[in-house]
A and B are shown apart, each in its own frame.
Chain A
């Protein structure tokens, strides 16, 4: 394989110079970013755009509201899932408090993904057999109806990927207007986490005769609860 120095110096010579040692200047560009004139509308707009993509969503203020919304969405299904598979509802190690208490109230037991099995392959297979994956989120983007999650030791990337349903909780304070704000905050973290997943709606494809079809690989149903306390 080509040695890196040779590879780079050959590129430099193609550019008519020797390998640069100082960084190039910052690129001068300006784009008018999407900004909400009324930040109070951010949750509503985020939700609207999320729903346009085929997701379900709601804004809640209290635990009661959370409980009744979960009941409305899933009914008694979770209880029957659990009967067949105790790990049918898979979650990150910790979720926002309001979410945790809501699930206790409902008596829907959450299996914690990272502790589900010691071997990664086993974990993946558990996640693939789960009915619902539950995560928090680090940011949301109003303009595109996107939720953004950072990977970490307590989270697991498969939770929002392998189960046929994904439910995310996001605090309203984590919503931003546009992608650039999120990326700016990612930059400020210094070293980014090993994976940042930006999710805008369910898995979709139009590969067969341009006919839109949902859920070819990733979640088929996606839900978001915006916590605005």
Chain B
């Protein structure tokens, strides 16, 4: 978790100085974006699917109390042990309890953003439990001790050589850095882990309320391993991750696979209605479902930000974001990065000092909102979060003064005219070759990398007033 200790500026500087990271981020997001376009174009009716997805998600969120209750009843009826966690600490405690009760030493995990959100590996490792991420990308960043840099491709920022270097101490011999060698190494190594796993921990893409089913999508098949082989399974889910029935699941799976990677369906879509029946040969006998709130209920109660709960974690907003494109995920400092991360992190963590920069990691260009398969108005939410931050008093005094002055001048246009005339005279110390090339902060933030045109000797309002005057006098 070292990354979280450096300052925002340090992280941004580090990201911008990392050429491989920037190239890799472009490559990954360009690829994913173009795959998505192909997959959505071929449908020919993407907007209708998006609209359906948005209706479904909004409906679920507006009736989350009912559907969550139904999900709990349906899963418990079949013998699933449901745990409701208000806080990340609660969720961690539940998992540690289960692990200790079974005296489990080997925990195998498939991808779960909730697990990242509650820093589960950190705590399990402290307990002396070997907790292995089995998704290739997650495994790489687990060894590196880093958070995911992309929600779909978490180790996108690593070169193949870096991956080989990370694997070598585990392999005990040198590894060539070609992808097939690295993949084969992981296949062999993970097989042992899969077969040895006492407890499997998975995430949950969707939970089906009326059947009590858990839906997971993976491409590698590790989700199937983790949900098939160990005797005990723990599934972690954010409490908003619900669909009412299979009817809506169809729409959501289509939107997710196409938006995330441009696939029609992911390689493996697994619908579990656990636990295994007594006569069955495979699958967990004991199934725990941990449902996490972590301030999601606060978001639910806040109509302005409620749409943020509609997210299906597809990563489409990452792949169009011009800010993410330049700096990758780590500069954000948060587990969830990209546009959706900038929206939900301040809401989940409720700490403006730590996360107040996130709503400003956006030029408000709106590409994220345009890409979102469930129509979350991400850039609107970002700008509204900025307003929340200001109202909460977490913005600098000087900035508040600047906007007070702005408000005064731009509600007094005649005064503004005079101020501009004055400005056009005072600018000369900063002018070179007819352009402003320097100045005091915050202007200097601009002039470090750009020039600015000169303030016109006469503002347009003045020009127009003078023209009118001339016309009148000539009449």
Interface residues of A (CB under 8 A from B): 1-4, 7-15, 17, 19-20, 23-24, 27-32, 34, 49, 53, 113-114, 120-121, 123-125, 128, 141, 143-146, 151-153, 155-158, 161, 178-180, 183-184, 186-187, 191-211, 213, 215-219
Q: A206: which B residues are within 8 A, CB to CB?
A: 153
Whole-angstrom distance between the Cβ of B250 and the nearest chain A Cβ: 4
Most chain B CB within 10 A, of A14, A145, A180, A207, is at A207
Are B283's CB and A151's CB within 8 A? Answer: yes
Are A191's CB and B136's CB within 8 A? Answer: no
Are B195's CB and A124's CB within 8 A? Answer: yes
C-alpha spacing A157/B70, complex, angstroms: 28
Question: Lowest 7 A-B CB distances belong to which pairs?
Answer: A218-B221, A14-B301, A207-B137, A153-B279, A29-B52, A144-B264, A198-B269
B447 is an interface residue with CB less than 8 A from chain A: no
Listed A/B pairs (21) with beta-carbon separation below 8 Å? A11-B300, A14-B297, A20-B65, A24-B62, A24-B67, A29-B55, A32-B45, A53-B267, A124-B229, A143-B264, A151-B280, A184-B247, A195-B270, A196-B270, A204-B267, A207-B156, A209-B179, A210-B27, A215-B187, A217-B134, A217-B221
CB-CB nearest in chain B for A16: B301
Whole-angstrom distance between the Cβ of A20 and the nearest chain B Cβ: 5
Are A20's CB and B66's CB within 8 A? Answer: yes
Partner of A210, one of B31, B48, B135, B276: B31
Q: Is the interface of A mostly helix, strand, loop or mixed?
A: loop
With A1-B85, A215-B183 known to touch, is A31 a contact of B48 (CB < 8 Å)?
yes
Chain B, residues 430-461, CB within 8 Å of chain A (1/0): the string is: 00000000000000000000000000000000
Are A207's CB and B268's CB within 8 A? Answer: no
Whole-angstrom distance between the Cβ of B327 and the nearest chain A Cβ: 18
Are A24's CB and B220's CB within 8 A? Answer: no
Are A15's CB and B270's CB within 8 A? Answer: no
Whole-angstrom distance between the Cβ of B213 and the nearest chain A Cβ: 6
Binds A, one of B116-124, B157-165, B310-318, B391-399: B157-165
CB-CB nearest in chain B for A12: B65
B228 is an interface residue with CB less than 8 A from chain A: yes
B12 is an interface residue with CB less than 8 A from chain A: no
Q: A34: which B residues are within 8 A, CB to CB?
A: 43
Are A144's CB and B63's CB within 8 A? Answer: no
With A203-B220, A207-B136, A210-B156 known to touch, is A157 a contact of B65 (CB < 8 Å)?
no
Q: B55: which A residues are within 8 A, CB to CB?
A: 27-29
Whole-angstrom distance between the Cβ of A58 and the nearest chain B Cβ: 21
With A7-B84, A208-B160 known to touch, is A195 a contact of B271 (CB < 8 Å)?
yes
Q: A113: which B residues are within 8 A, CB to CB?
A: 281
Are A194's CB and B300's CB within 8 A? Answer: no
Q: B27: which A residues are within 8 A, CB to CB?
A: 209-210
Partner of A11, one of B64, B134, B228: B64
C-alpha spacing A200/B239, complex, angstroms: 28
CB-CB nearest in chain B for A150: B271
Partner of B56, one of A7, A29, A161, A194: A29
Are B211's CB and A192's CB within 8 A? Answer: yes
Are B275's CB and A194's CB within 8 A? Answer: yes
Are A8's CB and B267's CB within 8 A? Answer: no
CB-CB nearest in chain B for A197: B270
Whole-angstrom distance between the Cβ of A154 and the nearest chain B Cβ: 9
Please provide the chain B residues from 230 to 268 with a CB less than 8 Å away from any CB of chain A in the complex. Answer: 231, 239, 244-251, 253-254, 263-268
Q: B199: which A residues are within 8 A, CB to CB?
A: none
